[in-house]
Amino acid sequence: MPLATFMKIKSALRLAALDPRALALALEPGMALADARARHPALLAIEANPSAEAKILTDILAWSRRFTPLAALDAPDGIMLDVSGAAHLFGGEEKLQAEIEARFQAQGLTARTALAPTPEAAWALARYGHVLRPLISFLPDGLDERRLARALGPLPLAALRLDTGLVAGLARAGLRRVSDIILRPRAPIAARFGTHLFARLDALLGRTKSAISPRFEAPPYLAERRFAEGIVARDGIEAIILSLAQDLCTLLTRHGEGARHLEASFFRVDGAVKHLDVRTSRALRDPEAMARLFRDRIEALGDAGLEADYGFDVLRLSALAVESKGEDQASLDDTLNSENDLAGLIDRLGARLGVRRVTRLSMQDRHDPDFAVVYVPAASRARPRKCAPRDISSDAEIPALPPRPLRLLLHPELIEAIASVPDGPPLRFRWRRVLHEIAAVEGPERIAPDWWKEAPGFTRDYFRAEDRDGQSFWLFREGLYRETIEPRWFMHGLFA
């Protein structure tokens, strides 16, 4: 049965797409559904699903990156590939085009492909170039404006991606093909139909440069392997990743750079694509370390992580982010080796657990202990900040800050405390139903409230207190007696 999809356009149901059987019945997109069914009652029409079609087109785009990393969507029904630097890997443009068409056909998809020097010419030939197939064999060889104009002249003006109303107006003026406007003076036509028409013509013929917008930018460096049959064994996949890492590191060494973000792409025989990425805490240029990170990543995913099934016929390793890296020099005190060991540990933990789950503490310019440090990814580019030293240029002696606990409670906990004098240190306190008698105390460390806020709060006096059992606590009183009638005491941290 002939098959067609329909959708609602301006309060009317019209045909959106047709299969070859429906096209053979002289039906065409845009025709009213009622007229189509009146002509052919056996027509099977289903409602179009634009969101599902967009999802399929996105999957096709991801699959097409096996041919080139520069792949862009050409909604609603096409994709655009820049194969200028990849065609030689397939034996030339004609063989690449034939392989793309064969692979689409093997997946049950009918595709019209075209190779041309400009994106606009490729779009026009893919949709209207069936009458020019014997004449366009030279197009991939380079950009020759005269030959391109002669070859594309017989195309209809709809090949310029013009509005249907404009195409109809040009047809009433006797202009139906691209050659009709190439051979005529521009001024009279532009005055009547606008300059947009000739802007599209110049782009078609390469007089103005245009570029596609890839969904994913091409990585700075990549290495790739292709196989006649799918690779299924995990040992084989890891060996190929190591080989790709060696090729990638050769390129990085040649340019004096190291990788900070790596991605491995696995293109399965049946069209599915899997991507694994790892990030590093320093510029990496060691193939063994790269392969180990991806091995840890695969192990963390488990047996069903890669889902090899039919096997992978294309494996690609890309360096998505790089930075300058000089040659490593050995140090006498073995400092470099210890730093590399720590960086390697951070990278391996990040590959297994996720780069955001491996964190370190970073100092902040805040006087409030709750915000003095924050957790940041250990593999981030920012270096840990150190506390600024006190200014000791003056003759006055400035006492050092009292020690603080390495770890604080998640939230300060309210305690019951008794002090000998107002605004003085505590004598005893009760915390979590346990009474503690103070044997020694140090402080206070006074922290003023945020005076620039509308409700700044109260002053805090921090004390380091040790009870008779030898346990050390970091507690504070919130509020002075001149600020509030009932100051409160809190436990904020514990000393080891």
Digit-coded pLDDT (tens) for 309-327: 889 999 999 999 999 987 7
Residue with token string 């392997």: 225
Q: How far apart are CA 291 and CA 299, in angstroms?
A: 12
| Strand ranges across the sheet with 257-268 | 221-231, 312-324, 257-268, 273-284
Residue 169 amino acid letter: G
Which of the four pLDDT bands, split at 50, 70 and 90, describes residue 138?
Answer: very low
Is pLDDT at 451 greater than 90 in this prediction?
A: no
How many Å apart are CA 418 and CA 427, to the nearest integer?
6
- Cβ–Cβ contacts within 10 Å for residue 248, how many? 22
The tens digit of pLDDT for each residue in 247-297 reads 999 999 999 999 999 999 999 988 888 899 999 988 999 999 999 999 998
In sequence order, the 6+-apart residues with CB closer than 8 A to the CB of 300 are: 351, 352, 353
Summary mean pLDDT of the chain: 86
- Given a cut of 60, whether residue 135 has pLDDT beyond it is no
**Percentage of the chain modeled with pLDDT above 90:** 48
**Mean pLDDT over residues 380-408, rounded?**
61
Judge residue 453's burial from the number of C-beta atoms within 10 Å of its C-beta, 0-12 exposed, 13-18 middle, 19 or more buried: exposed
pLDDT band at residue 366 under the 50/70/90 scheme = confident
Average pLDDT of the segment spanning 87-105: 88
CATH topology of domain 221-327+336-351: Dna Ligase; domain 1 (3.30.1490)
Q: For residue 460, which of 475, 442, 478, 444 has the smallest C-alpha distance?
A: 478
Over the range 238-247, which residues count as b (16 or more CB within 10 Å of their CB) and which as e? eebbbbbbeb
* Local structure of residue 42 (DSSP, 8 states): T
pLDDT attached to residue 333: 58
Are the beta carbons of 139 and 148 closer than 8 angstroms? Answer: yes
Peptide bond into 399 cis (omega under 30): no
pLDDT digits 0-9 by tens, 368-393: 888 888 888 887 766 555 554 444 44
pLDDT reported for residue 252: 94
**pLDDT over 60 at 352, yes or no:** yes
For residue range 179-232, list pLDDT tens digits in order: 999 989 999 999 999 999 999 999 998 888 888 888 777 889 999 999 988 898
pLDDT tens readout for residues 27-61: 988 899 999 999 999 999 999 999 999 999 999 99
Report domain extents, the chain. 3-48, 67-205, 221-327+336-351, 408-494
Residue 141 has pLDDT above 70, yes or no: no
8 Å CB contact between 27 and 18: yes
Percent of the chain at pLDDT exceeding 70 = 90
Stretch 81-105: mean pLDDT? 88
**Where residue 439 falls among pLDDT bands split at 50, 70, 90?**
very high
Residue 479 confidence (pLDDT): 92
pLDDT exceeds 80 at position 127: yes
Q: What is the pLDDT of residue 142?
A: 57
User: Per-residue pLDDT averaged across 98-110, rounded?
Assistant: 89
Per-residue DSSP letter, 189: H
pLDDT class of 478 with cuts at 50, 70, 90? very high
With tokens 């890492």, the residue in question is 245
3 has a pLDDT exceeding 90: yes
**Range scoring the smallest mean pLDDT among 82-91, 158-167, 178-187, 386-395:** 386-395
Region 154-172 average pLDDT: 91
**Sign of the alpha-carbon torsion through 307, 308, 314, 318:** positive
Q: Say how many C-beta atoms besides its own lie within 10 A of residue 455's C-beta.
A: 6
Residue 137 has pLDDT above 70, yes or no: no
Mean pLDDT of 468-483: 93
Q: How many angstroms from the chain centroid is the CA of residue 342?
A: 27
